[in-house]
Amino acid sequence: MVKRLLIVLCIGLLVQSCLDLVIDERSGESSEAQSAVSSGDASGNGDNSVLIDANGCTLGDWWDSQYLYRQSIQVSVPKGEPVPKGYSFALPFDHQRLVAASRAHPTGRDIRMVHLSENCLLSEIPFVLDPSSSWNRSNTKIWFASAEDIPDDQTVFNYYIYYGNSAAAIVEHQEDSVFIEFEDFIDPPAPGTFSSLEEGAGISYLNGNLVVAGTTDEINQFKPFGIFRTVNGVELPAGTIIETSLTIPDTGGAEWKATVGAPSLMLGVYQNRVQYYTDVNDGEMVFWTPLSETIFPGNIVDNQRISLNVQPDNLSLQLNGSVIGTRDIETIGFQPRFTFSPSIAGATFEAHFHFYLARKAISTDALISLALGNIESR
C-alpha cells in the first residue's frame, strides 16, 4: 500500500514538474511577445500591444502632451549589412486618412518624428517631406535619418510619428539633417554648384526646376547633356545614393537617354532599355537590357525618378523605386551627374530637373522595410 502511494506521489510530482515547465515556456513566449511590435498600415490596422522594448524602456511614456496621437515605426533591416547612423529612411503613410478622421492637420504642420534612445529618452529628430510628395495624400512620404547604427538582420521599434497638435507650427528646411546633399531648386543654388555638361546648352532656374535647354547639331549629337554637381570638385564616397526627378517634353522624333553616375561609372535609361557604360573597353557600351515598353511611352520622359546606388563593388539603378539594372564595378568615389542625350541632330530640347539629393546607402537598401503600428492616443 505504501509503495502504491509512493508511486502515485512520484507520478503526481512528475506531472506537476512538466506543467511547471510548460507554464515557464509559455511565460517566456508571452514576455517575448510583449516586447515585439507587429506591423500595420498607416491608419493603425496592426497588432501593436507593446509594453516594454528590448532595452527595457517603458513604451507607454509620452513625448509631448500637446500631441494627441502617435504611431510606432517598425524598422526591419535585412541580413547582410548594418544601417549606419545618419541613414535616410523613407516613410510612406496615409496622411489623408488621418486628416479625414480629424487626427492630423492637412498642412502637415503637426507632424513630428521622435526617437527613443537606449537610455529611454524620447527626443525629436529632423524629418522632411519627400520632394515629389505632398501633404493630405493617401501616399504622403517623409524622410528621417537614423539616430544610431542598426545591426543587420534586426527589427527595431524605437521611432515614432506624433501628430494631433492644432497649435503646432510647420517644420521646414531640415534637409541638411536628413540627406548628405539636397537641392530643390526653389531658390537657385550658389553659382557653380551645377554645371552643364556640353557646350550649346544653358542652365536656368524656373518654377522650382533646374532647366537645361539647347539645340543639338552634328557635332554634339548623342553627347550627354545635363547637369554635373561640382561642389568644390569633391567626390561622394561609395555607399551613397544620388537621386533626381527628370522631365523631358516631347521633341518630335528624338529619342532620349537619361544617364546617371560619372564618366567611368554610368548606367543609363534609354527609351525602354537600360544602357550600361564603362570607360573600360575604350568606353564602348557593354550591352543592352530590354525593359517594359511602358516605362517611357513615346518620346516623353515625364517625372521619372532616377536613383543610382553606388557601392564599393557594384552599382544598381532604380527607376521610380524599382531596381532595373545592376553592374559589378569597383568604386571609391564619384562625381554626381545626371545627363540625357537626343538621338538626332537639330533637336531642340528642354529638360527639367525637379530636385537633386544624395543620401547614405547600403547594398541591401531596397530590402529595408518600415511599417506603422496602431494609432495610440494620449
CATH number (domain holding residue 264) = 2.60.120.560
| Residue 334 confidence (pLDDT) | 84
Q: Give yes or no: residues 242 and 328 share one domain.
A: yes
Which residues have C-beta within 8 Å of that of residue 25, sequence separation ≥ 6? none
* Contact present, 315 and 330 (Cβ < 8 Å): no
Q: Give yes or no: residues 232 and 275 share one domain.
A: yes
The pLDDT tens digits of the residues spanning 202-219 come to: 888 998 999 988 887 777
| Residue 97 confidence (pLDDT) | 98
Alpha-carbon distance values, 368 to 139, 172, 293, 374 (Å): 18, 26, 28, 20
DSSP letter assigned to residue 124: E
| % of the chain with per-residue pLDDT over 90 | 38
d(CA 275, CA 375): 45
pLDDT at 131 over 60: yes
For 66, the grid coordinates are 500637446
pLDDT at 54 over 80: no
| Residue 219 confidence (pLDDT) | 76
**102-111, 264-273, 308-317, 336-345: which range is least confident on average?**
264-273
The mean pLDDT value for 223-231 works out to 77
The mean pLDDT value for 189-201 works out to 79
Q: Give yes or no: residues 239 and 350 share one domain.
A: yes
| Residue 342 confidence (pLDDT) | 65
d(CA 2, CA 174): 81
The mean pLDDT value for 97-122 works out to 96
pLDDT at 331 over 90: no
Per-residue pLDDT band at 294 (split at 50, 70, 90): very low
Per-residue pLDDT band at 346 (split at 50, 70, 90): confident
The mean pLDDT value for 269-273 works out to 58
Q: Give yes or no: residues 196 and 301 share one domain.
A: yes
Q: Give yes or no: residues 240 and 349 share one domain.
A: yes
Please identify, among 161, 178, 195, the residue that sits at the C-terminal boundary of a domain.
178
Within a domain: 251: yes
d(CA 317, CA 323): 6
Cell 494627441 belongs to: 68
- Cα-based angle 128, 130, 131 (whole degrees, multiple of 5): 115
| % of the chain with per-residue pLDDT over 70 | 67
Half-sphere exposure (Cβ direction) of 320: Cα atoms closer than 13 Å: 9
Task: Please tell me the total count of domains within the chain.
Answer: 2
| Residue 129 confidence (pLDDT) | 96
Please identify, among 148, 163, 178, the residue that sits at the C-terminal boundary of a domain.
178
pLDDT at 17 over 90: no
Domain encompassing residue 282: 182-360
Q: Give yes or no: residues 145 and 207 share one domain.
A: no
Please identify, among 135, 153, 178, the residue that sits at the C-terminal boundary of a domain.
178
Within a domain: 257: yes
pTM of the entire structure?
0.78
Q: Which residues pair with 133 in a beta bridge?
A: none
Of 322 and 357, more confident: 357
**104-118, 216-230, 310-324: which range is least confident on average?**
216-230
Within a domain: 85: yes
Which residues have C-beta within 8 Å of that of residue 284, sequence separation ≥ 6? none
d(CA 61, CA 53): 12
d(CA 125, CA 147): 8
Query: Which residue, 94, 32, 80, 6, is CA-closest to 314?
Result: 80
Q: Give yes or no: residues 162 and 190 share one domain.
A: no
